[in-house]
Amino acid sequence: MNCLIYLRVSTKEQAQTNETEGYSIAAQRKACTKYVQEKGWTLVDEYTDRGESARSAHRPMLQEMLKRVKEDKSINSVVVHKIDRLARNLKDHVEITATLQKAKVGLVSVVENIEDTASGKLVEGIHAIVAEFYSSNLAAEVQKGMLEKVKQGGWPHQAPLGYKNVREGTRNIAMVVPDSVAAPHVKEAFKLYATGDFSLDHIQDFLFDRGITNKKNSKKTLAHVTVSNMLTNPFYTGVVRYKGIEYPGKHEPLISRQLFQKVKSIYEVRNHGVAVRTRKNNHYLKGTLYCADCGSLFSIDTAKGKYTYFFCLGIKRGRGCTHTKHVAAADIEAQVEGLYENVQMSKATAKKLSRRFDEELVSKQATNAMEKELLGKRIAKLAHEQNKLMQAYYSEAIPLHLLKKEQARIESEMATSENRLEILNAQLGELREVLDLALEIATQCGFGYKTASDNVRRFYNKAFFEKILVKDGKIVDYEYTDLFHDLMSEGSDKLSLVGDGGLEPPTPCL
């Protein structure tokens, strides 16, 4: 069995540490290499992304590895320390595993339980969802904190040109105050532009002559976009603009509101007709809504700059679709909210499933307890053998080559036993946590979806539904993803925590 190892840390500090704990490169490498050796597999190569976030799949070594598995047919498996080392969102996880499956390459997690069964895929998918939920929830909490700071008149970012970030008072509160060096020149720049006699290039040169230069290269003027942002930012009037909304700031204004309006008017006249880049509509229901008549995806468009609606792509592609009705985005959004309320698992069902999980866990705990006792005895016996071996060598009863041979055997057997014991100690508790989280999501999806941000709603839709079918502007049917199909069914008799092979995956294939 030929395999590759993939390692990743998200910060430069983690990448540079040699610690053997946590998620350092060294710790991941040790765990993965140990796992490969115990399985008797052949380690062909290692791919490491240092200081790369898993919120994007565009990591150089990951892409190199995926290219390798497509081309090198001798590779059988990819080994990772944990699923979240591979991806922190469900979309990337699905795309990466699809690439591996197409190349007939299995994915193996050293820590988590991945089996080639329905329950194994459920657990793997939940791990991927948990990683994305953690990432999305963390981002949401950061955004919430930033918004609260803005509402209180603060500024959550790097101070704009002419200001600086400081901490003041006994509580060390972060504040933005005028930069005594740059502020006077910024004020003058606004006044010059307001005369109508100076262009952006003139303002760039004016500031450069006064020592205000490009931070990356002090021999260059400020970038055009930096000057444009400065002249159009109401922050200089004592206002904080955040996500299109203006809040009264606590910082000292550098210019009057009247001067800012005059500058703004001149800027807009001079830049009238300049093309503005617009983002494609990235609605959280895109990719989820399908036409019940022809099976085509629904797309989204905006009419007159404000009326957003969904429509069937089958109409434009000549598939003879009879669904000609455009559906207002607000209408279908409300229907999907109602759908989550309808499919939300009852507390009674969740309790029944929880009891089933508990029964299976108790059964596995009993089996594990017996195996752990045997492993403990085996480890103690190997330690005794190791001690006797050293005593024999010290008394010159055995030669050096035999000592080395026996030491290698004992260390290998002990490592295998200790690793198995570590898995037995950790896996049931972790699996219980994963299943509890899945049940919690299933029993709160109605309220959770209704109160979620657009990004988290997109996560819900990807996780729960393969398709939501629409006909004549109404939701008429839906298909769960494999991840939630069995869990959300009342008769979930097919759902099992473990297969006959136990919690450790009998094969590396997904």
Q: What are the tens digits of pLDDT across the range 269-289?
A: 777 544 334 445 678 898 899
Q: Which tokens hold the place of 261?
A: 């309006």
89 and 171 within one domain: no
pTM above threshold 0.75: no
* Residue 98 domain flag: yes
In a domain, 376, yes or no: no
Same domain, 91 and 170: no
User: Are both 99 and 173 inside the same structural domain?
Assistant: no
The closest alpha carbon to 114, from 427, 464, 494, belongs to: 427
In-domain check, residue 338: no
Angle at 100 between CA 23 and CA 494, to 5 degrees: 90
In a domain, 340, yes or no: no
Does some domain include residue 86? yes
Nearest to 85 by CA among 40, 52, 118, 126: 52
- Give the span between the Cα atoms of 18 and 74, in whole angstroms: 32
In the chain, the largest separation of any two C-alpha atoms, in whole Å, equals 99
Q: Residue 85: its pLDDT value, please?
A: 78
459 near 90, Cβ under 8 Å?
yes
Are 106 and 200 in the same domain? no
In a domain, 440, yes or no: no
Whether residue 49 contacts residue 10, with contact meaning beta carbons closer than 8 Å, is answered with no
The answer to whether the beta carbons of residues 85 and 54 sit under 8 Å apart is: yes
Residues (pLDDT < 70) of the chain are: 10-23, 51-57, 88-90, 113-156, 169-172, 243-245, 272-281, 305, 316-320, 322-324, 419, 422-432, 434, 483, 486, 489-510
The rounded distance, in Å, linking the Cα atoms of 463 and 129 is 7
Distance of CA 451 to the CA centre of its chain: 20
The three-point CA angle 52-53-54 to 5° equals: 120
Q: Contact 244/258 with Cβ under 8 angstroms?
A: no
Please say which residue of 84, 111, 138 terminates a domain. 111
Number of domains the chain contains: 2
Q: What are phi and psi of 115, to 5 degrees?
A: -115, 155
C-alpha pair distances (Å), 314 with each of 293, 296, 490: 9, 5, 34
171 and 264 both lie in a single domain: yes
Q: Which of 270, 305, 323 is the last residue of a domain?
A: 270
Q: Which domain holds residue 214?
A: 163-270
| Euclidean distance between CA atoms 350 and 345, whole angstroms | 7
Across-strand partners of 174?
Answer: 167
Domain-embedded: residue 233:
yes
Identify the CATH number of the domain in which residue 195 sits: 3.90.1750.20
Domain boundary among 251, 270, 289: 270
| CATH code of 54's domain | 3.40.50.1390
Looking at residue 405, its pLDDT comes to 87
Segment 92-119, tens digit of pLDDT: 777 888 888 889 998 888 887 666 555 5
For residue 163, give every residue at least 6 positions away whose Cβ sits within 8 Å of its Cβ, in sequence order, or none. Answer: 176, 177, 178, 179, 183, 235, 251
